[in-house]
Amino acid sequence: MKRFTLFLIFTFSTFFSGFSCFWDYDTIEMERMQFPDVIELISGKFLRHSQEFYQWRIEDRELKLQKYPDSLYLYNDLAVAYSKVGNDKKAIEIIKRKERIKPNDYTTYANLGTFYIHNGQLSLGIEYIDKAIKINPDAHFGREIYQRYLVEYVMQKMKNEKITLPLSSEVSRNFDRFPRYKLDNFYTFLVNKYNSKIEIPLQKDLLPKEELDKAIKGVMGMMKFGNYNSPVLLEALGDLLMANGWKKGARQLAARAYFKASYHSKQTETIRLYEQKVAYVLYHQYTKKKGDRFTIKELEKLLKEEIAEGVKYSEKIRRDEINWIQSGVNPEKEFAKKYYRKPSLGVRIQETNSINVDVENHYQKYKLNEKNNRKSFSKDTVSLNKSFKNLVKEHKGF
């Protein structure tokens, strides 16, 4: 009898220990180890040039092209600089001049595809991205492939040439489960793409880890070299970070991405839908005080601190670049000497002062009514009443 009792204790303890992370708390350090640099991208604390720098580069490259009209890299620099200051039509004009000098160049097609996408000419953009991928599918760790997929996904979500945010608003009725089959977001879009290319479809609707890592890296690349503030990119990143479910997903990072995406809308319903996505991913996220869940407001406080740190960092770079330009020194050389090292944010561990009952009520309000279904719920999404072209001009970078 004693032996049988010990056996039961061992069996139950072994069984439940296998699921301890499901109910346990995760710290932000663990997620950052799994997905390096994500929090810096979301907050904006990473190396990037100011608008003043790109205006300087336009003048500098225009002058150099007069002396060296066959220098191909100057066309790339000039076109990208025009795109960075919001003039994609000029960027397209410049890069086409380069194409006449050297046709069938990977960088020409990759840049031209991006400029067309920024200019709202999505089909034409995909056409040139495809040309770039055909020439060099592995360049930029395959970023163009996921850029193409993301544009396809957005086009699929558009109605009457208008986009609504969030792109995907469906969540499970049950916070205790993570049913991917009920979702219709960027991750499930990629799963369908992957299944269409293999002979035996995925049984659990989970991308292989190497594919998911490539997708996350691709979206991060678009944020870093395009626009880290784009709500489309932030939402796509959140979808991917939560892709492996409760145990392996990066809940705190995904929540930050969704939360920041909500800042780009003044529509109450749009903000509510993003907050619902945040509540869904954070429901099983615990703090150092085991058993305490933290609220959206508590996460927002940390996020605002991180964003403020990012703004302070980028403003410091901007002041330096303005001073270098005004002093007549080369800002590219000075930037390289001073800033070519990777910045990082300090570690922030989630804490909470909330009473457990209040936190539970906070999450319960976002649960869907059993009478609702995905189709009727999605109708609540508020249209921003902007064409896709205007939206991508406002949020450059994907």
Nearest to 254 by CA among 272, 239, 232: 239
Give dist(CA 285, CA 195) in Å, integer: 31
pLDDT (tens place) for every residue of the chain, 398 residues total: 444 343 333 333 333 233 333 333 445 666 666 677 899 999 999 999 999 999 999 999 999 999 999 999 999 999 999 999 999 999 999 999 999 999 999 999 999 999 999 998 999 999 999 999 999 887 766 688 999 999 999 999 988 888 889 999 776 555 455 444 467 899 999 998 988 888 777 666 788 888 998 999 999 999 998 889 999 999 999 999 987 655 556 888 999 999 999 998 888 999 999 988 888 887 766 665 555 666 778 888 999 999 999 999 999 999 999 999 999 999 999 999 999 876 777 665 555 555 455 555 655 666 555 444 444 334 334 444 444 455 555 545 45
Residues 6 or more apart in contact with residue 182 via CB below 8 angstroms: 170, 172, 374
Per residue in 183-239, pLDDT (tens digit) is 789 999 999 898 888 877 766 678 888 899 899 999 999 999 888 999 999 999 999
SS (H, E, C) the chain: CHHHHHHHHHHHHHHHHCCHHHHCCCCHHHHHHHCCCHHHHHHCCCCCCCHHHHHHHHHHHHHHHHHCCCCHHHHHHHHHHHHHCCCHHHHHHHHHHHHHHCCCCHHHHHHHHHHHHHCCCHHHHHHHHHHHHHHCCCHHHHHHHHHHHHHHHHHHHCECCEEECCCCCCCCCCCCCCCHHHCCCHHHHHHHHHHHHCCCCCCCCCCCHHHHHHHHHHHHHHHHHCCCCCHHHHHHHHHHHCCCHHHHCCHHHHHHHHHHHHCCCCCHHHHHHHHHHHHHHHCCCECCCCCCECCHHHHHHHHHHHHHHHHHHHHHHHHHHHHHHHHCCCHHHHHHHHHCCCCCCCCCCCCCCCCHHHHHHHHHCCCCCCCCCHHHHHCCCCEEEEEHHHHHHHCCCC
Q: How far is CA 86 from CA 130, 317, 346, in A?
A: 24, 20, 33
Report domain extents, the chain. Answer: 23-330+343-352+372-394
Per-residue confidence (pLDDT) for residue 143, from 0 to 100: 80
CA angle 66, 70, 72 (to 5 degrees): 105
Asked whether the CA dihedral 254, 139, 392, 76 is positive or negative, the reply is positive
Residue with tokens 């990082």: 344
Per-residue confidence (pLDDT) for residue 257, from 0 to 100: 96
Per-residue confidence (pLDDT) for residue 377, from 0 to 100: 38
Superfamily of structural domain 23-330+343-352+372-394: Tetratricopeptide repeat domain (1.25.40.10)
Cβ pair 244, 206 in contact under 8 A: yes
| Burial of residue 368, with CB atoms counted within 10 A of its CB: 0-12 exposed, 13-18 middle, 19 or more buried | middle
User: What is the Rg, in whole angstroms, of the alpha carbon atoms belonging to the chain?
Assistant: 23
Torsional class of 200: left (φ above 0), alpha (ψ -120 to 50), beta (otherwise) = beta
How far is it between the farthest Cα atoms of the chain? 93
Give dist(CA 9, CA 15) in Å, integer: 10
Q: Which amino acid is at 333?
A: K
Per residue in 243-294, pLDDT (tens digit) is 765 555 688 899 999 999 999 888 899 999 998 888 888 776 666 555 566 6
Per-residue confidence (pLDDT) for residue 239, from 0 to 100: 93
Cβ pair 167, 157 in contact under 8 A: yes
Distance, C-alpha 126 to centroid of its chain: 20
Give dist(CA 230, CA 114) in Å, integer: 14
Per-residue confidence (pLDDT) for residue 242, from 0 to 100: 83
